[in-house]
Structure 1
Amino acid sequence: MRLLVLGSSWFLGRAVTETALAAGWEVTTFRRGRPESGDDPHGVTTIRGDYADLDAVARLAAAGPYDAAVDNLAYTPRETLAVARTLEPVTARYVMISTVSVYEGWPIKPLTEDSAVLECEPDAGPNPGYDGDPGPSTYGFGKAGCERAVTVTFGSDRSTILRPGVILGPHEYVGRLPWWLWRMERGGEILAAGSPDRLIQPVDVRDVAEFAVHCAAGRSGVFNVTGTGSTMGAFLSACREATGSDAAITWITDEQWLADQGVRQWTGLPLWRTYPGTWAVDSTRARQAGLVTRPLHHTVADTWEWLTTGKPVEHERAGELGISPDREQAILGVWRAREADRCGGE
């Protein structure tokens, strides 16, 4: 069977390509070929070009037919619409990687695939909609428009929409898990927010890739893709174990106080978000369709091994996360003084 992978060098696209090759697919990849994104995997046919360049996409179509395509590059609806229309005559099935951000209620409300989705036209341009905090984002609006572009072109019987939550694992470029691992490896007193019992549900990139390839073989529908669930405390313990750290974790339970210190949710402390729907995305439908996810501590350990023995490459989004060591220790000092004053006054 022949698979086309649009965007194959970074993180999920890379994992999809490797998974498909291991499963015996004949894989064609489409990528820009930037040097920092690494070499082409052995055994693939690579066509270079930009997603927005219809001449390059036409070359992809000419190299078909394909039994399926997995699109990791769908962000701007009108670009995705053009790509889908060009590939539709030579592609039997189209799998689009979307996001839970397409839901109107994310991250406020618990979500299923039947939850309301943001409204966006399939031919919308860049950055549609608006950004709310919390609430809708231009990223979510754009992905919703891309979903419509795929489904209006391929129909519901030939399209698959995957809506992952937070994806972690080896080759992660956003930096959420790497930030925590490097911070844990440095040791000392570590600031953590909220309760160690807070449930989280990241999903391993390799599990998303395996489900995407599984769907490419003939599974239609819309699927949320999230992990089985762990806790923030178990996650940080796994980071400590993987790095061999002797770090001490201090939980700041007054999260509004922490926010008042200027620590931003989601970015200042990766994975920290207080909104109740953040980690309440139901993926029962995907599990019934074949999604299998590994324990989070396996993801943590494998990512640390990659960071320390592999060849991580810096992505353009690197450096956006976390707080500085000095800022962290200053906040912890103020917190300790606050708690001492509070206890002394009781």
Structure 2
Amino acid sequence: MEKREVLVIGGNRYFGKRLIARLLAAGDRVTVLNRGSSPPPAGVVHLIADRDDEDALREALGPRTFDVVVDQVCYTPRQAAIARRVLAGRTGRYVMTSTVEVYAEVHGEVHAYGDSVAPVRETDVDPLNAAVDLELPWHEPEFLDTHYGEGKRQAESVFAAEPAFPYVAVRVAHVLGGDDDFTGRLTHYADRIRTGEPITVPTVNHPATYIHVEEIADFLFWTVGQDFTGPVNAASHGTLTTRELCEAVAAYAPGGGTAVFQETTEPGEVSPFAFRRFYGMDNSRATRLGFTFGDVRQWLGQAVAETLVPVN
């Protein structure tokens, strides 16, 4: 296979670093661009720039061109607009890591799937039909944190509305696994199961689709070598309830214990992976394109053990 020039924006942790390892193993020439807070692995070209600074981004890239760009850290339409301007004419393909959360909000309102158990398809959120507001306070961390799905959706819309290059938006299911899971979500459950502290869930608690950290790295690596465009869902087969997830945590968590659930009808915070709407994604488009997903129940125990059981 001919070597590819691949730029990865971000990607220094979790499934991003696994993607870089796969690219290097395949013989690709990899350039990593980040703010310099952590060094990339050996064997890559390292560029340092703040992606929100358009001039700095242009200067860091210089005259470089790429076969594929994988953008792991595009969170807002402003960042997408800068990337589109700077990378126009520089890449033959652009892969944006998006999220299942794009299905949660449409024009700022809860998606109509709140009471549905039908898996969402890519066409349920068409970036061409979604409004973009560049004037929202996307630079404010608190605003961005509470509008994560909306930021990703609007970023997708920027690329779809004025495509400067063929683009893909990989809508990633909730990711589990790895001893470097930085989210603390499984640890949240393990701590409460061990101490007997209640786990708060909504009275109507919907299941969700998930994907293993190694599987999403495999999927992104596979996507780099394909030529399809547009949104694509990436999720393992099957769904999990919060109870099933907690049963797996109880089986592997140091100290053991039993999950105690506390239901609430009040708005506000609930435990991680406890959902008031159905977060199930239809993965049939990716399957038709040729990717083979695993089943969530086949790897769940492994994922929990990797995250919670210390390695001696």
Whether TM-score is above 0.5 comes out as yes
Quote the residue 2:293 is aligned against. Answer: 292
1:8 paired to 2:11: yes
Q: What TM-score, normalized to structure 1?
A: 0.71
Q: For structure 1, which runs of at least 5 residues remain unmatched after alignment?
A: 129-136, 311-346
Which residue among 33, 36, 51 is the counterpart of 2:36? 33
Tell me the amino acid that sits aligned with residue 235 of structure 2: T
Taking the TM superposition and a 5 Å limit, the aligned residue runs for 1:12-91 are: 12-34=15-37, 38-62=38-62, 64-91=64-91
Q: Aligned with 1:181: secondary structure?
A: helix
Q: Compared with structure 1, are the counterparts of its residues 144 and 198 closer, same or farther at alpha carbon in structure 2 (3 Å cutoff)? A: closer
**Conserved 8 A contact 1:169-1:299:** yes
Q: Compared with structure 1, are the counterparts of its residues 283 and 150 closer, same or farther at alpha carbon in structure 2 (3 Å cutoff)? A: same
Structure whose CA Rg is larger: 1
**Conserved 8 A contact 1:127-1:142:** no
Quote the residue 1:219 is aligned against. Answer: 227
Q: How many aligned positions are there?
A: 283
Taking the TM superposition and a 5 Å limit, the aligned residue runs for 1:1-346 are: 1-34=4-37, 38-62=38-62, 64-103=64-103, 104=106, 105=111, 108=114, 109=116, 110=118, 111-117=120-126, 119-121=130-132, 124-127=134-137, 138-151=147-160, 152-155=162-165, 158-170=166-178, 171-184=180-193, 186-188=194-196, 191=199, 193=201, 199-221=207-229, 222-228=231-237, 229-252=239-262, 255=263, 258-260=264-266, 264-265=268-269, 268-275=270-277, 277=278, 279-289=279-289, 290-293=291-294, 295-305=299-309, 308-309=310-311
Take 1:114 and 1:53, find their aligned partners in 2: how far apart are those partners?
33
Greater shift in the superposed pair: 70-79 or 7-16: 7-16
Tell me the amino acid that sits aligned with residue 24 of structure 2: L
Q: Aligned with 1:199: secondary structure?
A: coil
| Aligned-pair CA distance for 1:238 | 1.8
| Aligned-pair CA distance for 1:48 | 0.9
Q: Compared with structure 1, are the counterparts of its residues 251 and 194 closer, same or farther at alpha carbon in structure 2 (3 Å cutoff)? A: farther
**Conserved 8 A contact 1:81-1:153:** no
- CA root-mean-square deviation: 3.0
Identity %: 25
Quote the residue 2:142 is aligned against. Answer: none
Q: Aligned with 1:95: secondary structure?
A: strand
Tell me the amino acid that sits aligned with residue 119 of structure 1: A
| Aligned-pair CA distance for 1:164 | 1.5
Q: For structure 2, which runs of at least 5 residues remain unmatched after alignment?
A: 139-145
Q: What TM-score, normalized to structure 2?
A: 0.78
Take 2:149 and 2:260, find their aligned partners in 1: how far apart are those partners?
34
| Aligned-pair CA distance for 1:243 | 2.1
Q: Residues 199-224 of structure 1, C-alpha deviation per residue, up to 9 Å, x if partnerless?
A: 33222232222211211112323211
Tell me the amino acid that sits aligned with residue 270 of structure 1: P
| Aligned-pair CA distance for 1:192 | 6.3
